[in-house]
Homo-oligomer: A and B are copies of this chain.
Amino acid sequence: MTKYESIKEHIYQKIESGEWPEYHSVSSENALANQFHVSRMTARRALQELCDEGLVTRTRGSGTFVAPLKSQSALLTIRNIADEIRMRQHQHSARVVKMEKVPAYPALATFLHVPIDSDVWHSVIVHYENGQPVQVEDRYVNPRLVPDYGDQDFSEHTPHEYLCEVTPLTEASHQIEAMAPDQQLMKWLQLNEPEPCLQIHRRTWCRDGVVSQATLTHPGSRFRLGGHMTFRAPRKKVEE
């Protein structure tokens, strides 16, 4: 392993273990250079690459700091319904309609890597935009990794926000499909007629295993999922 890789590894370990939380200061280039007995340029390379990868932020004159998680998720749109609604200048509210411990059925047990029939958290939360329901969040959470999930107040902060705080999420997978809502979903979404719904299945990982599996259901008439991407790096703006 090269020297700059060793340094990256060292810092990565601090961040990933939680020893250095968000916004925590990272050793300066000179400090690292002394500590690892390398030149400043080598230490610099380690910090620079971590910055490119989005793990730390750097500001001239000030220093290097552990990047907030949100800046990473912003990259690839891990969706937070509350933020999205607030961004539209609309009012977000949430109602917890279920919060219970249930035995894991076989498929779920496999997903979460827990024994079959062992207790897992199960919550159902309805999210409202200006009073109109726009999402039903049906979520199972691994109690080994998040024991206090059931004690939280999710009318203020979404489960996603809470989970981001207590476990450093490292991965997520999404599946999206169109489906017809059942009676229960129609009731929660206040739909009189069945209408096509967009359903997002999301699983999130932290380094210790699968944290949570969520099914987010949106009525088709009230929700669109958007995204934008550039293939080639955009040409730098001409500054003056």
A-B contact pairs, 10 of them (CB 8 A): A1-B236, A12-B233, A170-B232, A171-B231, A172-B228, A173-B229, A174-B226, A174-B227, A174-B229, A196-B197
Residues on the B chain within 8 Å of A180, using CB: 195-196, 220
Residues on the B chain within 8 Å of A199, using CB: 178
- Which of A168, A173, A239 has the most chain B CB atoms closer than 10 A to its own CB? A173
Interface residue ranges, A against B (CB under 8 Å): 1, 5, 8-9, 12, 15-16, 52-55, 69, 72-73, 76, 78, 168-180, 195-199, 218, 220, 223-233, 235-236, 238-239
Is B177's CB under 8 angstroms from A198's CB?
yes
Please pick, from B9, B73, B168, B171, the residue contacting A228 in the complex, using a CB distance under 8 A.
B171
Is A53's CB under 8 angstroms from B233's CB?
yes
Residues on the B chain within 8 Å of A9, using CB: 235-236
Chain B: which residue is nearest A240 at the CB level?
A: B1
Please pick, from B5, B228, B239, the residue contacting A1 in the complex, using a CB distance under 8 A.
B239
Chain B: which residue is nearest A236 at the CB level?
A: B5
Is B1's CB under 8 angstroms from A224's CB?
no
A229 to B227, CA, bound (A): 15
Residues on the B chain within 8 Å of A198, using CB: 176-178, 198
